[in-house]
Chain A
Amino acid sequence: MLLVAPLFVLLLLSFCLPIAALLARAVYDPTMHDALPRTAAALDASPGQNVPDGVVFAALVEDLLEAKQNDSLYNLAKELNTLIPAARSHVLRTARGLSSDQRTTRDELIALDPFWGESETWTAITNGVRPFTTNYLLAAVDLHWTAAGDIGAVAPDQAIYRTIFARTFGIAAGVTLITLVLSFPLAWLLASLSGPTAARLILLVLLPFWTSILVRTAAWTVLLQRSGILNELLLGLHVTHHPIDLMYTRIGLIIAMTHIQLPFTLLPIYSVMRTISPSQMRAAYSLGARPFAAFRRVYLPQVMPGVMAGCLLTFILCLGYFITPALVGGPADQLIANFISNYINVDLNWPMAAALSVILLALTLGLFGAFARLFGIDRMKLI
């Protein structure tokens, strides 16, 4: 038992804990609370005001002055900007007008910048300084807290996440279906053959399976170029008279993802088909079944677990695709994982990345749980 401990502890510390911390960021975000500690306390003490009273304003002025002194003003402005558009310039301008010698009052501050007298500003600040928040999780499914305190849909021009989830699901479903249609007959052929021919053909399936996703995506990047081999081929066969744009398009992405996922769909189907004796079909024929009826009533029900396992595996893996959409897809073909990466690296909106991660992980684990329950955990081992 002690033998398991080193790896178990390593995984807990370097895998489970970081992921838990990441997911926690989706609902726990103390940055605003830490940036405006006095304002947060004052707002807490007197809740329910549209534009709060002088006490809260005094606390705000203190917080702004302190931020100005220890050079954290720019960060504060940036944080506030994620909650209220254009807040950055208001914060910076207001702070410039404050001096520590003389306490600015509520009315003076509103006179200095009417921004502080607006109820939207204070709704956002009140929301933002709460360390526990459901804002990001709601935003990830295009919902938000309305000014009246209900959950409502966000404005259509800001509702992007449902589109992204629908796109990810759509592409995953499409790729799953195409791989199934392509691989089912091949799996049958491989399972029916035996001897060295079958072994050689299986090797042909395993070869791409063993090549890294990056190398295969690189191959497709080369193939799909406007002046690339695929276009040369199509032009040569007179399928088309002009080169087709395949790079940075949905079609190119689906072709590349289908190629990468095909073995994942095929191998579980193949391993189930191998267990079905061909004499069953012969028995069905001799009992008078036509080929289609024999296939539908005898063969298909037995292969179904393999088909479901292969399809579910491909579908789940497609939900988390990152490299291929980043390289082959266009701006309109980016999936959830690419948005998570973008929120971490470009927008620096970590809670939003965390909220999207929560949803992606919940979907993946939920589907895998269903998978394990239906087919047993052993079918997952493809290697």
Chain B
Amino acid sequence: MLLSPYATFADKVRMAVLLVWCGLVLAFLVLPIFVPVPLSVNAEAFFTYPLKGLSWRWYREVLGSDAWREAIWHSIVVAIGVTVLATSLGTLAAVGLSSPRMPARRIIMAVLISPLVVPIIITAVGAYLFYAPIGLANSFIGIIIAQTTIAAPFVVVTVGASLANFDRTLMRAAAISGARPFVAFHRVMLPLILPGVLSGAAFAFVASFDELVIALFLAGPAQRTLPMQMFVGLREHLDPTITAAATLMMALSILLLIVADRLRRRPRTDGDRAS
């Protein structure tokens, strides 16, 4: 497929070099992220292979110690809050933006997407200095609001993509049939754009669950999240607990993102629940 049927020896050598190069690059890309996985079941507190024996002790450490358990719990609470807020507001905004009568669309879109562009340290520092005097620093509400600003753009983009395929005459048809705008949204539009909404929600959840920098600035000891706990572990007392936590985090985000990707790429089915 890659070589023409008339490939010369030189062509074959070139192709072999290219394949080896690509193999090495792929190995560089993929192998490092799986390094923590086997080490997390190592019986010894070393970061080298071969493993001295298998054990679940580092997972017990993560899931059994109060500090890690609390951090996981905080992360889940914050991520759920961010997902709910970002998905609802983001979906509304995407629907509004898709309306043909929307004025100043480009500028508004630029503002909605800007949190993805601004370096996260600036977002975090800005939020910290602004939220602290009004009592939102060291609070879950503050973290949820700040992380929503970086999670919502994902929802706007994914829902916007599904709306691009949405036939707006359906909404007119619903209106003519006597549906109020909310009913038309709920019964006609939402079922059709649901894959985009769910995929945006998954992206929002992961964006919050993996987020470290905003949490570092806005969370106090009582709100310490899983990424913060990992960051402190990596900085101060490096032990294989980190590898177990990293494996858990990686498994959750990859799982959710594969689901999100499947939803987003799924060809649109015209099945109508109401029929």
Contact = CB atoms under 8 A, between A and B. Distances in A.
B33 A211 contact: yes
Contacts of B166: none
Given A14-B149, A222-B36, A381-B157, A185 B115 contact: no
Contacts of B90: 7
Contacts of A263: 29
Contacts of A327: 231, 234-235
Given A4-B97, A211-B33, A216-B33, A221 B234 contact: yes
Interface string B85-115: 0000110110111010111000011111111
Given A4-B96, A185-B21, A228 B122 contact: no
A353 B125 contact: yes
B39 A208 contact: no
A183 B90 CA distance: 34
B86 to A, nearest CB: 9
A3 B102 CA distance: 10
Given A21-B130, A211-B250, A211-B254, 6 more contacts: A5-B96, A7-B156, A218-B243, A219-B32, A221-B238, A291-B11
A206 B121 CA distance: 25
A10 B102 contact: no
A25 B126 CA distance: 10
A207 B47 contact: no
Contacts of B126: 15, 18-19, 21-22, 357
Contacts of A4: 92-93, 96-97, 102, 108, 112
B30 A204 contact: yes
Given A7-B90, A327-B235, A340 B121 contact: yes
A8 B112 contact: yes
A322 B29 contact: no
A364 interface: yes
B128 interface: yes
- What is the predominant secondary structure among interface residues of chain B facing chain A? helix
Interface stretch (A69-77, A121-129, A152-160, A186-194): A186-194
B129 interface: yes
Contact of A16 (B89, B111, B120, B243): B111
A320 B96 contact: no
A323 B211 CA distance: 11
A229 B31 CA distance: 12
A222 B119 contact: no
A272 to B, nearest CB: 18
Contacts of B108: 4, 8
| Consensus secondary structure, chain A interface | helix
Interface in A328-365: 337, 340-341, 344, 350, 353, 357, 360-361, 364-365
19 contacts: A6-B93, A11-B112, A19-B122, A21-B130, A22-B126, A192-B2, A207-B30, A207-B254, A208-B30, A210-B258, A222-B36, A223-B35, A259-B29, A262-B28, A282-B4, A341-B216, A357-B126, A360-B122, A383-B154
A-B CB proximity, top 9 nearest: A320-B119, A3-B96, A212-B210, A18-B130, A18-B126, A4-B96, A7-B89, A337-B121, A7-B93
Contact of B29 (A2, A208, A320, A350): A208
A15 B110 CA distance: 13
Contacts of A186: 21-22, 25-26
Interface in A170-205: 182-183, 185-186, 188-189, 192-194, 201, 204-205
A220 B31 CA distance: 11
A72 B210 CA distance: 41
Contacts of A7: 89-90, 92-93, 112, 152, 156
A214 interface: yes
